[in-house]
Amino acid sequence: MIFFKSLMRGGVHPDGQKQLSSNSEIVRLDPPRRLFISLKQHIGMPAKVIVKAGESVIAGQLIAVGHGSSANIHAPQSGIVDKIGKHRAAIPGGGEEIMIHLLCDPQNNDSAVKIDHHKKGREELLNIIEAAGIVGMGGAVFPTATKLRSGFNKKIDTLLINGCECEPYLTCDDQVMRQQSVQVIGGIRYLLEVTGAAKAIIGIEDNKPQALQILTDAASEDDNIEVKSLPTHYPMGSAKQFIKALCQVEVPKGKRSTDVGVVVQNVATCAAVFNAIRFGQPQTHRVVTLSGRALEQPMNIEAPIGSLISELVARCGGLKSKVSRIVIGGPMMGHTISNMHSPIIKGTSGILLLEEDEIPEYNSSPCVSCGRCIAACPMGLMPNRMAELIENDDLQGASKQGLSACLLCGSCAFICPASLPLTQYFTYAKDELSLRMKMENKAQLARRLNQQRSERLSVEADKKAAAKEAKKAAKRSRKTSPSIEQEL
């Protein structure tokens, strides 16, 4: 049903299914024999490999360097680089990516490399976060240092810490808050120093009472850190909705949170920041929720980046029934994959193995114009109208209706009585518009380069013509000029 009485516009209240793994404390995965470490662990370009096949590495060693808006990648375990090549990736639509294939030596993990973490100035703290390769662990996988640096020239008043975890099934952030509260609060203190914010607010949905109490107690000695309870309401964890709920401030269209004096970070990201600054540990592991009724024992597992999904499933005792769908992330905004022999990355928050009765039936029928999708949209859009335009291939018309503001949260599709695949419409349209824009930019660049070449050739031709004419003029001048002997 739609949850009307809330701190945000629209939204829905899906069945949480968190009870499957909410009581599972974090367990550590036994060191795998092999890791497949993708070079694309983040938004932006893939990291650049700095190791070679046959080279020995030790745990924590830098193996790929981030550039632009990408992030550093470190070896989660010691071992030997088997090769650098393609491997199946857990990405939408399947496919392969370039990865570092690491043959692990579980006996050689005591001599971990540590990044320099002794300098404590604001810029130095940011450099440590950057060196550690930390990315946002709430799903966006945006490099944390890049995000923080974007607010350096702006007045940041408030640091918001997202502990909502509003996606159904997922409980990894809940367990991080309950079991790693010291790291979370420690990371918040460091982030307050880096951002220059006067205060921090931790927002947690009220379906996590233990996390609320534990973090309230952990922050009790910090006057500038406040813990607030928020209603269980999807998509409360989305950045703009989260900011509106806690600060009563709306981020204007086309602007970022830093433009309204706010920086948002995920609780697991805070823990990673603490481990990097306090202990010099790069981001090489993450906590992942394994859930779904097809699993023998749903649980939360701390695993090395690059571990195969199949190994995490085996740690849960394997499967107890037929899997009808494998979802990476949550069921609302996650994506499906067809093969479990793909590795996790820094942004993998959940792996769901769902039985048939856990998957909604989509027998689409024509839109009945009920308006429920409009009421549910947290961005105040008209999903039914946008879908109609996209169906008629009028992507520009959909764009004018506000397609770029769509969060792809799935609230409209969840509430639609006609079971229209609205999220798929909007995903397709966004991807298609992005592709068309790239092609147009490429065409414009080609036209500009061609014009510059034509202008350059024209200038060169004019220079040659002028030089040739000057040469002819000089020759004529020599013929018409009287010689010295004639003058005498």
User: Which DSSP string corresponds to 271-293?
Assistant: HHHHHHHHH---S-EEEEEEEST
Domain borders along the chain are 18-287, 288-358, 365-464
What does the pLDDT read at residue 291?
97
Quick one: which of 294, 423, 424 has its CA closest to 358? 294
What does the pLDDT read at residue 119?
61
Q: Is 421 exposed, middle or buried (0-12, 13-18, 19+ CB in 10 A)?
A: middle
- Bridge-based pairing of strands 96-104 and 34-38 is antiparallel
Q: Is 397 exposed, middle or buried (0-12, 13-18, 19+ CB in 10 A)?
A: middle
Dihedral over alpha carbons 344, 347, 350, 354 (to 10 degrees): -70
Which parts of 6-71 are beta strand (E)? 27-28, 34-38, 48-49, 56-57, 62-65
DSSP state of 294: T
Q: How far apart are CA 29 and CA 285, in angstroms?
A: 10
Quick one: which of 147, 145, 139 has its CA closest to 115? 145
Its sign, for the CA torsion 476, 479, 483, 486, is: negative
What region does 25 belong to: left with phi over 0, alpha with psi -120 to 50, or beta?
beta
259 near 154, Cβ under 8 Å? yes
Q: Give exposure, 177-213, as e/b (b: 16+ Cβ within 10 Å).
A: bbbbbebbbbbbbbbbebbebeebbbbbbebbeebbe
What does the pLDDT read at residue 139?
74
DSSP state of 307: -
Which residues are paired to 289 by β-bridges?
300, 350
What does the pLDDT read at residue 5?
46
Fold of 288-358: Ubiquitin-like (UB roll) (3.10.20)
> In residues, how long is the chain?
488
The alpha carbon of residue 7 and the mean position of all alpha carbons in its chain are separated, in whole angstroms, by 25
The kind and range of the H/E element at 159 are strand 158-162
Q: How far apart are CA 209 and CA 106, in angstroms?
A: 38
Q: Give exposure, 127-151, as e/b (b: 16+ Cβ within 10 Å).
A: ebbbbbbbbbbbbbbbbbbbbbeeb
Backbone angles phi, psi at 76, to 5 degrees: -70, -25
Long-range contacts at 369-376 (CB < 8 A, ≥ 24 apart)? 370/417, 372/2, 372/415, 372/416, 372/417, 373/411, 373/412, 373/413, 373/415, 373/416, 373/422, 375/2, 375/10, 375/415, 376/2, 376/10, 376/11, 376/12, 376/411, 376/412, 376/414, 376/415
Q: How far apart are CA 180 and CA 170, in angstroms?
A: 17
What does the pLDDT read at residue 42?
83
The alpha carbon of residue 69 and the mean position of all alpha carbons in its chain are separated, in whole angstroms, by 11
Fold of 365-464: Fumarate Reductase Iron-sulfur Protein; Chain B, domain 2 (1.10.1060)
What's the CATH class of domain 18-287? alpha beta
Q: What does the block give as tokens for 169?
A: 């099934």
What does the pLDDT read at residue 254?
81
Which residues are paired to 158 by β-bridges?
199, 262
What does the pLDDT read at residue 187?
96
Q: Tens-of-pLDDT digits for all 488 residues of the chain?
A: 333 345 788 999 999 999 999 999 999 999 899 999 999 988 888 999 999 999 999 999 999 999 878 899 999 999 999 999 999 999 887 889 999 999 998 777 655 566 666 667 888 999 999 999 999 998 778 999 999 998 888 899 999 999 999 999 999 999 999 999 999 999 999 999 999 999 999 999 999 999 999 999 999 999 999 999 999 999 999 999 999 999 989 898 888 899 999 999 999 999 999 999 999 999 999 999 999 999 999 999 999 999 999 999 999 999 999 999 999 999 999 999 988 999 999 999 999 999 999 988 778 889 999 999 999 999 999 999 999 999 999 999 999 999 999 999 999 999 999 999 999 999 999 999 989 988 989 999 999 999 999 999 999 888 888 888 888 788 778 776 655 444 44
Gyration radius of the chain over CA positions: 28
Q: How far apart are CA 100 and CA 284, in angstroms?
A: 14
